[in-house]
Structure 1
Amino acid sequence: MNWRFEYHETLGSTSDLCKIRAEAGEPEYLAVQAFSQTSGRGTRGRTWTDPGGNLAISLLFRPVDPATFIAALPFLAAVTLYETAMHFCPATVGPTPFMVKWPNDLLLDGRKMAGVLIETGGPQSMPWVVVGIGANLTQAPEILGRSLAALSEKTAVPSAKAFGEILVAQIERWTAILAKQGFAPIRAAWLARAHPVGSRLAVQGCETYITGSFSGLDAQGRLLLTLPNGETIPVVTGDILLD
């Protein structure tokens, strides 16, 4: 892969610019990074606030098999975020402070530090996938009702540019693994970095709230939730709340 990095001091949204380029026929492996993002967004239309000094980067792919790639991508991105954060965090005694949460959040001491937004489009003959990644490096934004974390709590903060370069290198490595070995090694890597099997959690949907215990991932990446009655069900979507 030959990634092309494009840097901007300020953008509304790195993903919006990446999508414009994709629709105009831009080849894959474009990385658009902004050192300040004014209109970032997360999943389900949420705002991703950027106080400056944090990571805001979007990557353009044109996969040959979009369905397979998109199914693996949330877990691939989460593992990549975990490994990039660990790269910049010195070794400490005891368990790592980082953990991934289904499907693609990175937690630091139980609080969200980074997240991923995946968007798709284009004609069937030339589809595109844009992966937007935001990570709190220097500071966590203050959002009412949410507890967020920043990498600066654990280590001297790297530049957003340096963090982005390592992140893309890790994504390239895991994308190659996916192409050669399929989803299985990514699933295993995600499970090794996630909340342990048996962890109590809840799945909150628009009109539902289901509690149970985490029982792993199935072969498609669906979260397996064991209910109090012993039944195990697959979860396709929803907010995961850890006890």
Structure 2
Amino acid sequence: MSWRFEYHETLGSTSDLCKARAEAGEPEHLAVQAFSQTSGRGTRGRTWTDPGGNLAISLLFRPADPAAFIAALPFVVAVALFETAIHFCPVVTGPSRFMLKWPNDLLMDGRKMAGVLIETGGPQGNPWVVVGIGANLRQAPEIPGRRLAALSEVTDPPSAEAFGKVLVAQIEHWTALREREGFAPVRAAWLARAHPVGTPLAVQRCETYITGSFSGLDAQGRLLLALPHGETIPVVTGDILLD
């Protein structure tokens, strides 16, 4: 099924509009994109500042198997973001500039360049999933205490419209692969693009930290954290801090 792209010069939130359309019965494969977003948000209630010229897009899905779809979705979108960034970068930058951080942040030179927010709703018989994606193409917003990156630092960035089209095609590709072959190939692709096994990291939960090293992903996509005393624990949620 082809995607229906809807463009707006300015929106408060692409995801809010996409969710409203979903609640009104809109079929899946709607892509709502704004060239300027005034009330974007990230995970855990954080704001996502958009200085203009960057990607702000939300996608509507109505999966037949919501649980399996949602479990794989962060990794599908992360790999698609990585591949889209590489697509628009000169060969000289190399893929090593980019790295995925669990579960779905795209880092450039160790700084966040893109993030994802997944929201769900709707009746049991016809649920919806809205994926909001923000990527710094032309400029990184200035947020105290955070180090952010923009694609313009390494290449002449594409338009937000062009980046969005390639990204949606990549998401479609990896979604179709998961439907045909399950989560395993998506998991493998994510691991090949992420912080290496053995990378020291900390998981932040409220005001506490659990430190250890990255030990991969389990079959459900949970981060495996190897603790200093030898135990390995699965991490379902939490902010990941790379050392």
TM range (shorter): over 0.9
For 1:230, what is the secondary structure of its paired residue? coil
What is the correspondence of 1:153-232 to structure 2 with a 5 Å cutoff?
153-232=153-232
Structure 2 match to 1:128: 128
What is the correspondence of 1:6-17 to structure 2 with a 5 Å cutoff?
6-17=6-17
Q: Find the aligned partners of 2:92 and 2:229 in 1 and give their Cα distance.
A: 40
For 1:56, what is the secondary structure of its paired residue? strand
Distance 1:74 1:230, change over 3 A: same
Unaligned runs of 5+ residues in structure 1 are none
Contact 2:93–2:154 (CA<8 Å) still a contact in 1?
A: no
For 2:211, what is the secondary structure of its paired residue? strand
| Deviation sequence 1:23-60 (CA, Å, 0-9, x none) | 00000000000000000000000000000000000000
What is the correspondence of 1:79-98 to structure 2 with a 5 Å cutoff?
79-92=79-92, 96-98=96-98
Distance 1:162 1:93, change over 3 A: closer
- Asked whether 1:57 is paired with 2:94, we answer no
Unaligned runs of 5+ residues in structure 2 are none
Contact 2:114–2:135 (CA<8 Å) still a contact in 1?
A: yes
Q: Find the aligned partners of 1:226 and 1:6 in 2 and give their Cα distance.
A: 44
Shift of 1:96: 1.8
| Deviation sequence 1:149-171 (CA, Å, 0-9, x none) | 00001101100000000000001
Structure 2 match to 1:142: 142
What letter matches 1:180 in structure 2?
A: R
For 1:212, what is the secondary structure of its paired residue? strand
| Deviation sequence 1:132-164 (CA, Å, 0-9, x none) | 000000000000000000000110110000000
Q: Find the aligned partners of 1:103 and 1:96 in 2 and give their Cα distance.
A: 18
Structure 1 match to 2:36: 36
Shift of 1:183: 0.4
What letter matches 2:129 in structure 1?
A: V
Q: Find the aligned partners of 1:96 and 1:197 in 2 and give their Cα distance.
A: 15
Shift of 1:207: 3.7
C-alpha RMSD of the superposition = 0.8
Q: Find the aligned partners of 2:180 and 2:237 in 1 and give their Cα distance.
A: 28
Contact 2:86–2:95 (CA<8 Å) still a contact in 1?
A: no
Q: Find the aligned partners of 1:130 and 1:28 in 2 and give their Cα distance.
A: 10
Q: Find the aligned partners of 2:146 and 2:231 in 1 and give their Cα distance.
A: 31
Q: Find the aligned partners of 2:44 and 2:200 in 1 and give their Cα distance.
A: 24
- Asked whether 1:73 is paired with 2:87, we answer no
Distance 1:95 1:62, change over 3 A: closer
Q: Find the aligned partners of 2:121 and 2:91 in 1 and give their Cα distance.
A: 41
For 1:92, what is the secondary structure of its paired residue? helix
What letter matches 2:158 in structure 1?
A: P
Q: Find the aligned partners of 1:93 and 1:194 in 2 and give their Cα distance.
A: 17
Q: Find the aligned partners of 1:92 and 1:242 in 2 and give their Cα distance.
A: 26
| Deviation sequence 1:79-99 (CA, Å, 0-9, x none) | 000000000001127662000
Q: Find the aligned partners of 1:20 and 1:94 in 2 and give their Cα distance.
A: 40
Q: Find the aligned partners of 1:76 and 1:69 in 2 and give their Cα distance.
A: 10
Q: Find the aligned partners of 1:70 and 1:55 in 2 and give their Cα distance.
A: 22
Q: Find the aligned partners of 1:170 and 1:24 in 2 and give their Cα distance.
A: 27
